[in-house]
Amino acid sequence: MIAHATALADWVLVLPVVLPILGAAALLMVRQRLRVQFWLCAAVILAVLAADVMLFARVLGGGPLSMTMGRWLPPFGISFTADVLGAGFATLAAFVAFAVVLSLVTTAPEGALRDGVYPLVLLLLAGVSGAVLTGDLFNLYVWFEVMLIASFGLIVLAGHPLQLDAAVKYAVPNVIATTLLLLSLGLIYGTLGTLNMADVIGRADDADPNLLAAVAALFLLAVGIKAAVFPVNAWLPASYHAPPPAITALIGGLSTKVGAYAVLRLALMLMPSVAEPLAPIVLGVAVATSLLGPFSALAEANLRRAVGFLLIGGVGNILLCVAPGHAPEAIAGGVLYVAHAVLTVSALYLVTGLIETAQGTGNIAEMSARSRVSWPVAALFFVLVMAISGIPPFLGFWPKLLLLQGFIQTGDWLLVFTVLLNSLLTLIVGARLWSLVCWRPSGDPAVRAPGLGAAVLVTGAVVLVGLSPQLFVDAANVAAAGLLDPARYIAAVGVSP
């Protein structure tokens, strides 16, 4: 048993999980009063954001922070461990959730508000925060399930037949994926005898690399389905265009990136020895995802489905950094790309949602025949198209620059080519979408869609971070160094190596 209690200041580590769960329970008690629900929900998310920022500042300066539940010694108790990667992700998640709640208050259908969209948003946030802050693999599975059940609820709320169809296609593969995740965790436990992440790092070195590679492959398949990588991504375009736009922004911004986070965590930090045998598969999948995403978007007739394919291409770019022998810059690029994908994709979904609501259709051909898009919306869409293609003054440029720097250092010309081709294709898709939807001769007066504020907020973040990326780049470098050399992480948890 641990004799001393956790220092009071360290409790900030569990606040991003505890606050939204308590908040969701409180919201259910006031479910008849929608106004109260909204204010309470926004307040809880702001509190979570404040806790996340404090946590992030602490781990950026002082190294990883860990806390083990129930006064058990670390390998046995469930550890919560925050490093820069996890804390940074949690901060962005809370920020996006805040913007989505702002958007929901004006755009969500009445039925969805009455059926409890706010508590579900909080539960989803709890799931995401838990998944990125936990230091225990089984606990990771539990948070994945929390995230999943909340996202099921969010997708079917209001119960339109289209949403039900989409929910079936979203739910079945995702449930199978989490069951596969559980399966791989059972095998990891059988192989290594531990599920504590810090402990896994130490024991994975001694294990049979081939056996471990087989087990890790199953884990990567499971989280790969969640991240929507190429051969197992068909559920994403089938479902993400069905729910209300703000919901898509939340789920599309966060849940696939949590899958990508799990890939980075396992393949780079927990079991670096499996990267060697699995690298050809992982890189093949990453290159295919990175290119096929924008190619599919090019042939897409529905605006939000096209954005979904761009999202998939972005996930491919993140996974390009998972291979042995990469330069630290490439890893930092992958980490920064996660941040970029969270912010830019959710902003893109918010803005395309505004356009869709104003035009009353999701079909690009019908949109370009209808009334004008109002100029602020068109301007936001333009900025985001440039950002997701990686055009310099915006956020998307910096992760791609880091990735390219890293790949050029180690001479991985195939990967350099992939990143560049992905950017070019994404730019073509984005420019095409923008000119079809927004660049029309002015006819009827523009229809104003409500809920512009949330889109402005997230797009503003994309622009600001793009203009002064130093904090984000530094954090990504620290996070990458932490992934490559987890000594501080292990020391923070306190397991003996």
Partner 1 sequence: MEIILAPLVGLFLAAAIYLMLSRALVRVMLGVALLGNGVNLLIFVAGRLTRAVPPIVPQGAEEPAGFVANPLPQALILTAIVIGFSMFAFLMVLVFRAYQSLDADNTDRMRLAEPEQPQRPPLEY
Nearest-approach distance from CB 243 to partner 1, in angstroms: 11
Q: Is 137 in the site for partner 1 (CB under 8 A)?
A: no
What residues from 358 to 387 belong to the interface with partner 1 (CB under 8 A)?
363-365, 368
Q: Is 239 in the site for partner 1 (CB under 8 A)?
A: yes
Nearest-approach distance from CB 415 to partner 1, in angstroms: 29
Nearest-approach distance from CB 429 to partner 1, in angstroms: 10
- Point out which span in 160-168, 197-205, 382-390, 420-428 binds partner 1 (CB under 8 A): 160-168
Tell me if residue 32 falls in helix, strand or coil. coil
What residues from 219 to 238 belong to the interface with partner 1 (CB under 8 A)?
237-238
Q: Is 138 in the site for partner 1 (CB under 8 A)?
A: yes
Nearest-approach distance from CB 69 to partner 1, in angstroms: 13
* Shorter beta-carbon distance to partner 1: residue 121 or 236: 236
User: Is there a contact between 218 and 180 (Cβ–Cβ < 8 Å)?
Assistant: yes
d(CA 475, CA 88): 8
- For residue 61, give every residue at least 6 positions away whose Cβ sits within 8 Å of its Cβ, in sequence order, or none: none
Nearest-approach distance from CB 271 to partner 1, in angstroms: 17
Q: Is 132 in the site for partner 1 (CB under 8 A)?
A: no
Describe the crossing of helices 452-467 and 375-389 by its angle, rounded to 10 degrees: 40
Q: Is 168 in the site for partner 1 (CB under 8 A)?
A: yes
How many chain residues touch partner 1 (CB under 8 A)?
A: 45
Nearest-approach distance from CB 159 to partner 1, in angstroms: 7
Report which of 48, 19, 86, 91 is spatially closest to residue 343, judged by C-alpha positions: 91
- For residue 442, give every residue at least 6 positions away whose Cβ sits within 8 Å of its Cβ, in sequence order, or none: 372
Name beta bridge partners: 363. Answer: 302
Nearest-approach distance from CB 426 to partner 1, in angstroms: 16
- Rg of the Cα atoms in the chain: 21
Q: Is 111 in the site for partner 1 (CB under 8 A)?
A: no
* Shorter beta-carbon distance to partner 1: residue 171 or 380: 171
Q: Is 434 in the site for partner 1 (CB under 8 A)?
A: no
Report which of 398, 359, 394 is spatially closest to residue 377, judged by C-alpha positions: 359
- For residue 67, give every residue at least 6 positions away whose Cβ sits within 8 Å of its Cβ, in sequence order, or none: 6, 10, 11, 13, 14, 79, 80, 81
Q: Is 190 in the site for partner 1 (CB under 8 A)?
A: yes
Residue 32, CA distances (Å) to 43, 53, 121, 150, 190 in order: 18, 32, 17, 20, 48
d(CA 492, CA 175): 33
Q: What residues line the site for partner 1 (CB under 8 A)?
A: 138, 142, 145, 148-149, 152, 156, 159, 161-162, 164-169, 171-172, 175-176, 178-179, 182-183, 185-187, 189-190, 237-239, 241-242, 298-302, 363-365, 368, 435-436
